[in-house]
Amino acid sequence: MNILSAIQGRRSIRKYSDKPVEEEKLLKVLEAARLSPSAKNRQEWKFIVVKDSKTRERLTEAIGQPFVGEAPIILVCCGTETESIMKCGQPRYTVDLSIATAYMILTAYEQGLGTCWLGSFDENKVKQILDIPEKVRVVSITPLGYPTESPAPKPRKSLDEIISYDRYR
Protein backbone atom coordinates (compact mmCIF):
# COMPACT_ATOMS: atom_id res chain seq x y z
CA MET A 1 0.00 0.00 0.00
CA ASN A 2 1.31 3.43 -0.84
CA ILE A 3 0.74 6.60 1.18
CA LEU A 4 -1.94 8.07 -1.08
CA SER A 5 -3.87 4.77 -0.98
CA ALA A 6 -3.80 4.88 2.82
CA ILE A 7 -4.96 8.50 2.83
CA GLN A 8 -7.78 7.68 0.41
CA GLY A 9 -8.88 4.54 2.25
CA ARG A 10 -8.64 5.58 5.90
CA ARG A 11 -11.92 6.32 7.68
CA SER A 12 -12.87 7.36 11.18
CA ILE A 13 -13.96 4.14 12.87
CA ARG A 14 -16.62 4.15 15.56
CA LYS A 15 -17.21 0.40 15.91
CA TYR A 16 -14.48 -1.96 17.07
CA SER A 17 -13.97 -5.66 17.64
CA ASP A 18 -12.68 -6.77 21.03
CA LYS A 19 -9.89 -8.67 19.24
CA PRO A 20 -6.55 -7.70 20.81
CA VAL A 21 -4.08 -5.70 18.73
CA GLU A 22 -0.88 -7.64 18.19
CA GLU A 23 2.15 -6.09 19.90
CA GLU A 24 4.12 -5.86 16.65
CA LYS A 25 1.31 -3.84 15.03
CA LEU A 26 1.08 -1.52 18.04
CA LEU A 27 4.85 -1.01 17.95
CA LYS A 28 4.70 -0.08 14.25
CA VAL A 29 2.06 2.54 15.01
CA LEU A 30 4.18 3.95 17.83
CA GLU A 31 7.31 3.84 15.67
CA ALA A 32 5.51 5.99 13.09
CA ALA A 33 4.94 8.60 15.82
CA ARG A 34 8.54 8.39 16.98
CA LEU A 35 9.83 8.98 13.47
CA SER A 36 7.49 11.85 12.65
CA PRO A 37 9.00 15.31 12.25
CA SER A 38 8.96 17.80 15.08
CA ALA A 39 9.97 21.46 15.20
CA LYS A 40 13.72 21.71 15.70
CA ASN A 41 13.63 17.94 16.29
CA ARG A 42 12.70 18.58 19.93
CA GLN A 43 10.36 15.57 20.15
CA GLU A 44 8.58 17.10 23.15
CA TRP A 45 5.86 14.50 23.27
CA LYS A 46 4.64 11.48 25.14
CA PHE A 47 2.28 8.80 23.85
CA ILE A 48 0.27 6.96 26.48
CA VAL A 49 -0.93 3.48 25.48
CA VAL A 50 -4.00 2.62 27.53
CA LYS A 51 -4.85 -1.09 27.56
CA ASP A 52 -6.23 -1.56 31.07
CA SER A 53 -10.01 -2.06 30.82
CA LYS A 54 -10.86 -0.03 33.93
CA THR A 55 -8.72 2.89 32.78
CA ARG A 56 -10.24 2.70 29.28
CA GLU A 57 -13.70 2.78 30.87
CA ARG A 58 -12.85 5.90 32.88
CA LEU A 59 -11.28 7.55 29.82
CA THR A 60 -14.37 6.76 27.75
CA GLU A 61 -16.46 8.68 30.29
CA ALA A 62 -14.05 11.65 30.17
CA ILE A 63 -14.14 11.60 26.37
CA GLY A 64 -17.92 11.32 26.32
CA GLN A 65 -18.08 9.07 23.27
CA PRO A 66 -19.02 5.49 24.23
CA PHE A 67 -17.58 3.85 21.09
CA VAL A 68 -14.05 4.69 22.28
CA GLY A 69 -14.31 2.03 24.98
CA GLU A 70 -14.98 -0.71 22.42
CA ALA A 71 -11.39 -0.56 21.14
CA PRO A 72 -8.80 -2.62 23.03
CA ILE A 73 -6.36 0.32 23.07
CA ILE A 74 -6.70 4.06 23.50
CA LEU A 75 -3.73 6.21 22.45
CA VAL A 76 -3.36 9.55 24.22
CA CYS A 77 -0.99 12.00 22.55
CA CYS A 78 0.56 14.61 24.83
CA GLY A 79 2.90 17.54 24.36
CA THR A 80 4.79 19.77 26.75
CA GLU A 81 3.24 23.22 26.90
CA THR A 82 6.01 25.77 26.63
CA GLU A 83 6.38 29.29 25.34
CA SER A 84 7.96 27.72 22.28
CA ILE A 85 6.06 29.32 19.43
CA MET A 86 7.09 28.94 15.80
CA LYS A 87 7.72 32.13 13.81
CA CYS A 88 4.34 31.60 12.13
CA GLY A 89 2.66 31.97 15.53
CA GLN A 90 1.67 28.34 16.14
CA PRO A 91 2.67 26.47 19.31
CA ARG A 92 5.25 23.84 18.38
CA TYR A 93 3.72 21.04 20.43
CA THR A 94 0.28 21.21 18.79
CA VAL A 95 1.74 21.02 15.29
CA ASP A 96 4.20 18.28 16.27
CA LEU A 97 1.49 16.14 17.88
CA SER A 98 -0.86 16.65 14.95
CA ILE A 99 1.77 15.34 12.56
CA ALA A 100 2.58 12.39 14.83
CA THR A 101 -1.10 11.51 15.21
CA ALA A 102 -1.58 11.60 11.44
CA TYR A 103 1.40 9.28 10.95
CA MET A 104 -0.01 6.87 13.55
CA ILE A 105 -3.51 6.70 12.07
CA LEU A 106 -2.14 6.07 8.57
CA THR A 107 0.19 3.34 9.84
CA ALA A 108 -2.71 1.79 11.75
CA TYR A 109 -4.85 1.75 8.62
CA GLU A 110 -2.05 0.13 6.62
CA GLN A 111 -2.11 -2.76 9.12
CA GLY A 112 -5.88 -3.25 9.03
CA LEU A 113 -6.51 -1.32 12.24
CA GLY A 114 -9.04 1.43 12.81
CA THR A 115 -8.71 4.80 14.53
CA CYS A 116 -10.77 7.92 15.08
CA TRP A 117 -8.98 11.21 15.73
CA LEU A 118 -10.60 12.79 18.79
CA GLY A 119 -10.28 16.39 19.80
CA SER A 120 -13.49 16.54 21.82
CA PHE A 121 -12.79 15.44 25.40
CA ASP A 122 -12.52 16.82 28.90
CA GLU A 123 -8.77 17.40 29.06
CA ASN A 124 -8.71 17.94 32.83
CA LYS A 125 -10.47 14.63 33.47
CA VAL A 126 -8.16 12.80 31.04
CA LYS A 127 -5.11 14.33 32.74
CA GLN A 128 -6.41 13.34 36.17
CA ILE A 129 -7.11 9.73 35.13
CA LEU A 130 -3.66 9.30 33.56
CA ASP A 131 -1.62 11.37 36.07
CA ILE A 132 -0.55 13.81 33.36
CA PRO A 133 1.39 16.82 34.75
CA GLU A 134 -0.11 20.30 34.63
CA LYS A 135 2.37 21.65 32.03
CA VAL A 136 1.56 18.79 29.64
CA ARG A 137 -1.35 19.14 27.20
CA VAL A 138 -3.44 16.38 25.68
CA VAL A 139 -3.54 17.25 21.98
CA SER A 140 -5.30 14.23 20.52
CA ILE A 141 -6.72 10.86 21.43
CA THR A 142 -7.57 7.88 19.25
CA PRO A 143 -8.99 4.45 19.89
CA LEU A 144 -6.99 1.70 18.18
CA GLY A 145 -8.40 -1.65 17.23
CA TYR A 146 -9.90 -3.84 14.56
CA PRO A 147 -12.86 -2.15 12.87
CA THR A 148 -16.24 -3.86 12.57
CA GLU A 149 -17.52 -1.29 10.09
CA SER A 150 -16.46 0.06 6.72
CA PRO A 151 -17.83 3.59 6.46
CA ALA A 152 -18.35 5.09 3.04
CA PRO A 153 -16.09 7.98 2.07
CA LYS A 154 -17.27 11.42 3.09
CA PRO A 155 -17.62 14.07 0.40
CA ARG A 156 -14.49 16.13 -0.16
CA LYS A 157 -14.15 19.50 -1.81
CA SER A 158 -12.56 19.57 -5.25
CA LEU A 159 -8.99 20.82 -5.69
CA ASP A 160 -10.38 23.90 -7.47
CA GLU A 161 -12.22 24.84 -4.27
CA ILE A 162 -9.23 24.60 -1.96
CA ILE A 163 -6.18 25.49 -4.06
CA SER A 164 -5.04 28.86 -5.32
CA TYR A 165 -1.76 29.75 -6.96
CA ASP A 166 0.55 32.64 -6.11
CA ARG A 167 -1.93 34.37 -3.76
CA TYR A 168 -5.04 33.72 -1.67
CA ARG A 169 -8.19 33.76 -3.78
Q: In a 10 Å sphere around its CB, with 0-12 CB exposed, 13-18 middle and 19+ buried, how is residue 40 labelled?
A: exposed
pLDDT confidence tier of residue 169, bands split at 50, 70 and 90: confident
Cβ atoms of 57 and 28 closer than 8 Å: no
Sequence ranges of the domains in the chain: 3-162
90-144: pLDDT as tens digits: 889 999 999 999 999 999 999 999 999 999 999 999 999 999 999 999 999 999 9
CA neighbor of 100 nearest in space, from 82, 84, 85, 78: 78
Q: Are strands 136-145 and 73-80 parallel, antiparallel or unpaired?
A: antiparallel
Tell me yes or no: is domain 3-162 CATH 3.40.109.10. yes
Please tell me the predicted confidence (pLDDT) of residue 84.
Answer: 81
